[in-house]
């Protein structure tokens, strides 16, 4: 049934190429305030961002715990450097606030009790803007400074003061990224970094990702990590695309880890994959290796330089100590040994075992997965309910302003079989604005599990969660509206909800839009192809097969066997083995031209020595398995 593309519903390595553009960044992180409340994360945030930017070709001016004089001196230095730069970036983490629509950044030696102190005790954001204006290039501003006004505890707030930061209007070629919506307050974070900076660090090295796509990924991760209490926001007037890492797009971090582990045949890396991706596409292969110590058709290194670059790309993207250690062990004199050592010195030597971190690792819903926390299935949570309940109880007590820990505690109690307690906790978290709690409570109410069945109440919860930004609630509402569960179907609103969910970063929603477009319900067939490609890139790997079908058949788009082959090979590498099985056992479903293109790419990679005839056979199967099990080569696809 290869030709059937259906809704995917929620219901129930290469080295960075030489940069032609010059890049300069000013990074401030202020934590150790002397007269107002100190902050835990900003110095870490600034250091980590500065290291990442240096690795991406930026000349970085870093200020940690800066005084007024130090901030003004660094801004002057930055302004001079900006004059000849093609891309300039400002990152600030620390206290910041607005008064009458104007934003102010707070040095650590600030002492202020009234508006009259502003000029001498704070740095207006307009001063930084003036420095940025000296560049004729792109200007990027990242503000992780939306903590509440720090001077309120010492007396009356200055007249006109508001929460968070105010929106800034700009001319062309600016992008502003706020840790949360204008006029709202962001959280400092419960680990080494703030929620916003952790998400930014998790995605800034994604190859081939435009900055607008990067910010969608960041927004999705922060939304999930805070249960919807913090939603990053951006305002762009860029006139051209910008990528932090302009390397060719490669496979996901998960697949990279599998392929590095498979090439190395290393049990520790295999275990790292199993721990990090318990539901991963390659977990069966990993578990088989761990049980037997062997696997079929093990690869030898094809190109040591390329393998070193792939390992380094994964290590810096994931920021996992075991991978950095492995890189230095295998390539002590490698091109990136210095930066790997610096990252190791910066990262904690042991796992974050604070209650919040343990709670997140043990109880996060897979639909709330982030780059740093992948989530666990309900069956796995059942095996660790006592530890999860203990950690989430402590986390909820330590961070009462983050109801997401209460929602995670509710999930842990549900896994332990205490549904009454789980429902009470879900209601508490939902009442305080947690999106996962709203969706979970809606599902229980819809089914009548633990609470009286009430479709109207369930739909009201979905509506509330959707309004607050939950993609899952938007998708569930869309399904209900397509089916007419609460009356006449409303396809127009259903489509609008799917578009909103896609805009919030839901790959499932993007895929469903592709299905609607290919069926002629919305948009065009060319749009369907783009939707499927985007869904696959964002983790809905069925999109690769769906895009390949359109290209293979010429279904509403120009027939392109070569591009169809590229999508199929990406699917072979990324999915759970579905595309590989179809290519080898149902090859008749694909045109000979597309299969010949697949064979040609495998031959170019050095894995296939048979005839380029578009016919299946043992050699073709073996070559596809080698490609999947450690042999994916992005450059082969990029060159075609």
Where b means 16+ CB within 10 Å and e means fewer, 121-136 reads: bbbebebbbebbebbe
Entry pTM: 0.88
Query: Is 50 exceeded by the pLDDT of residue 24?
Result: yes
Predicted confidence band of residue 191 (pLDDT cuts 50, 70, 90): confident
Alpha-carbon distance values, 221 to 9, 35, 205, 214 (Å): 20, 33, 15, 11
Predicted confidence band of residue 7 (pLDDT cuts 50, 70, 90): very low
Predicted confidence band of residue 248 (pLDDT cuts 50, 70, 90): confident
Confirm if 228 and 434 have CB atoms less than 8 A apart: yes
Give me the mean pLDDT over the 159-170 stretch. Answer: 54
Other CB atoms within a 10 A radius of the CB of residue 556 amount to 15
**In angstroms, rounded to a whole number, what is the distance separating the alpha carbons of residues 404 and 400?**
9
For the chain, what percentages of helix, strand and coil (3-state, to nearest 5) are there? 55, 10, 40
In degrees to the nearest 10, what's the CA dihedral of 51, 57, 61, 62?
A: -10
Query: Is 80 exceeded by the pLDDT of residue 6?
Result: no
Where b means 16+ CB within 10 Å and e means fewer, 423-433 reads: bebbbbbbebb
> Which residues are paired to 490 by β-bridges?
none
Query: Is 60 exceeded by the pLDDT of residue 71?
Result: yes
Tell me, what's the pLDDT at 292? 77
Confirm if 27 and 46 have CB atoms less than 8 A apart: yes
Tokens at residue 254, please?
Answer: 């998960």
Give me the mean pLDDT over the 523-549 stretch. Answer: 95
DSSP secondary structure code for residue 366 in this structure:
G
Predicted confidence band of residue 524 (pLDDT cuts 50, 70, 90): very high
Predicted confidence band of residue 9 (pLDDT cuts 50, 70, 90): very low
Ranges 32-46, 103-117, 377-391, most confident: 377-391
Query: How does pLDDT run across 439-449, given as a tens digit for each residue?
Result: 999 999 999 99
Tell me, what's the pLDDT at 149? 57
Tell me, what's the pLDDT at 293? 64
Whole-number average pLDDT of the chain: 88
Tell me, what's the pLDDT at 225? 93
Tell me, what's the pLDDT at 303? 66
Query: How does pLDDT run across 264-304, given as a tens digit for each residue?
Result: 888 999 999 998 898 899 998 898 888 876 544 444 445 67
Query: Is 80 exceeded by the pLDDT of residue 309?
Result: yes
Predicted confidence band of residue 17 (pLDDT cuts 50, 70, 90): very low
The alpha helices in 432-560, defined as continuous H runs, are: 435-447, 455-467, 471-483, 491-503, 507-518, 525-537, 542-553
Count how many residues are written for the chain.
Answer: 640
Tell me, what's the pLDDT at 296? 41
Give the helix/strand (H/E) hosting 309.
Answer: helix 304-318
Query: How does pLDDT run across 212-226, given as a tens digit for each residue?
Result: 999 999 999 999 999
DSSP 83-145: TT-SEEEEEEES-EEEETTEEEE--TT---SSGGGHHHH-EEHHHHHHHHTT-SSEEEEEEE-
Residues 6+ positions from 469 with CB-CB distance below 8 Å: 223, 228, 231, 435, 504
Query: Is 70 exceeded by the pLDDT of residue 580?
Result: yes
Listed residue (482, 517, 478) closest to 10, CA to CA: 478
**In angstroms, rounded to a whole number, what is the distance separating the alpha carbons of residues 477 and 475?**
5
Tell me, what's the pLDDT at 10? 45
How many percent of the chain have pLDDT more than 90? 71
Query: Is 60 exceeded by the pLDDT of residue 148?
Result: no
Classify burial at 480, counting beta carbons within 10 Å of its beta carbon; exposed 0-12, middle 13-18, buried 19 or more: buried
Query: Is 60 exceeded by the pLDDT of residue 4?
Result: no
Tell me, what's the pLDDT at 396? 97
Alpha-carbon distance values, 299 to 302, 324, 401, 413 (Å): 8, 22, 50, 45
**In angstroms, rounded to a whole number, what is the distance separating the alpha carbons of residues 413 and 405?**
12
Minimum mean pLDDT among 167-171, 417-421, 460-464: which range?
167-171
Give me the mean pLDDT over the 618-632 stretch. Answer: 93
Ranges 11-15, 238-242, 372-376, 561-565, most confident: 561-565
Predicted confidence band of residue 13 (pLDDT cuts 50, 70, 90): very low
How many percent of the chain have pLDDT more than 70? 90
Residue 102's Cβ-side half-sphere holds a number of Cα atoms within 13 Å equal to: 17
Query: Is 90 exceeded by the pLDDT of residue 168?
Result: no
SS3 63: strand
Tell me, what's the pLDDT at 181? 79
Query: Is 60 exceeded by the pLDDT of residue 495?
Result: yes
Tell me, what's the pLDDT at 557? 95
Give me the mean pLDDT over the 350-364 stretch. Answer: 91
């Amino acid at each position: 049934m290869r030709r059937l593309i259906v809704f995917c519903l929620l219901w129930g390595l290469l080295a960075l190429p030489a940069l032609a553009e010059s890049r300069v960044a000013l990074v401030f992180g202020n934590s150790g305030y002397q007269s107002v409340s100190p902050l835990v994360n900003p110095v870490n945030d600034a250091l980590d961002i500065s290291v990442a930017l240096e690795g991406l070709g930026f000349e970085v001016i870093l200020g940690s715990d800066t005084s007024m004089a130090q901030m003004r001196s660094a801004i002057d230095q930055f302004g001079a450097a900006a004059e000849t730069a093609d891309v300039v970036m400002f990152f600030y983490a620390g206290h910041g606030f607005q008064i009458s629509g104007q934003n102010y950044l707070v040095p650590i030696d600030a002492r202020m009790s009234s508006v009259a102190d502003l000029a001498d005790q704070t740095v207006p954001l307009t001063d930084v803007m003036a420095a940025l204006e000296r560049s004729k290039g792109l200007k990027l501003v990242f503000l992780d400074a939306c903590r509440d006004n720090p001077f309120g505890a010492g007396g009356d707030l200055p007249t006109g003061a508001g929460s968070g930061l105010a929106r800034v209007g700009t001319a062309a070629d600016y992008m502003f990224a706020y840790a949360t919506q204008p006029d709202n307050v962001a959280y400092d974070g419960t680990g080494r970094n703030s929620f916003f900076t952790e998400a930014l660090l998790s995605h800034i090295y994604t190859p081939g990702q435009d900055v607008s796509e990067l910010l969608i990924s960041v927004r999705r991760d922060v939304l999930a990590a805070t249960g919807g209490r913090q939603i990053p926001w951006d305002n762009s007037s860029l006139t051209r695309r910008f990528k932090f890492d302009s390397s060719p797009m490669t496979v996901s971090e998960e697949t990279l880890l599998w392929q590095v582990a498979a090439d190395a045949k290393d049990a520790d890396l295999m275990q790292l994959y199993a721990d990090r991706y318990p539901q991963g596409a390659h977990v069966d292969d990993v578990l088989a290796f761990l049980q037997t110590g062997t696997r079929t058709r093990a690869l030898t290194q094809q190109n040591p330089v390329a393998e070193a670059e792939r390992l380094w790309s994964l290590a810096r993207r994931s920021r996992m100590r075991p991978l950095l250690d492995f890189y230095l062990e295998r390539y002590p004199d490698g091109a990136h040994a210095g930066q790997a050592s610096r990252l190791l010195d910066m990262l904690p030597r042991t796992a974050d075992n604070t209650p919040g971190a343990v709670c997140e690792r043990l109880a996060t819903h897979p639909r709330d997965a982030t780059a740093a926390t992948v989530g666990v299935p309900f069956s796995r949570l059942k095996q660790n309910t006592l530890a999860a309940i203990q950690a989430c109880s402590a986390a909820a007590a330590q961070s009462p302003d983050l109801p997401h820990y209460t929602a995670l505690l509710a999930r842990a109690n549900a896994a332990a079989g205490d549904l009454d307690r789980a429902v009470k906790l879900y209601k508490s978290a939902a009442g305080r604005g947690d999106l996962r709690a709203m969706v979970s409570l809606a599902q229980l109410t819809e089914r009548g599990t633990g609470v009286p069945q009430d479709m109207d109440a369930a739909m009201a919860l979905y509506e509330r969660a959707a309004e607050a930004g939950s993609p899952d609630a938007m998708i569930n509402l869309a399904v209900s509206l397509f089916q007419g569960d609460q009356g006449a179907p409303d396809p127009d609103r259903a489509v609008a909800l799917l578009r909103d969910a896609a805009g919030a970063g839901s790959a499932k929603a993007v895929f469903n839009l592709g299905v609607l477009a290919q069926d002629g319900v919305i948009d065009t067939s060319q749009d369907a192809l783009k939707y499927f490609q985007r869904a696959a890139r964002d983790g809905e790997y069925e999109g690769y097969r769906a895009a390949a079908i359109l290209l293979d058949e010429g279904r509403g788009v120009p027939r392109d066997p070569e591009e169809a082959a590229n999508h199929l090979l990406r699917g072979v590498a990324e999915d759970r083995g579905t595309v590989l099985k179809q290519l080898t056992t149902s090859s008749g479903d694909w045109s000979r031209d597309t299969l010949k293109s697949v064979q040609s790419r495998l031959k170019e990679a050095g894995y296939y020595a048979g005839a380029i005839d578009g016919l299946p056979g043992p050699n073709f199967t073996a070559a596809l398995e080698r490609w999947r099990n450690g042999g994916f080569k992005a450059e082969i696809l990029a060159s075609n």
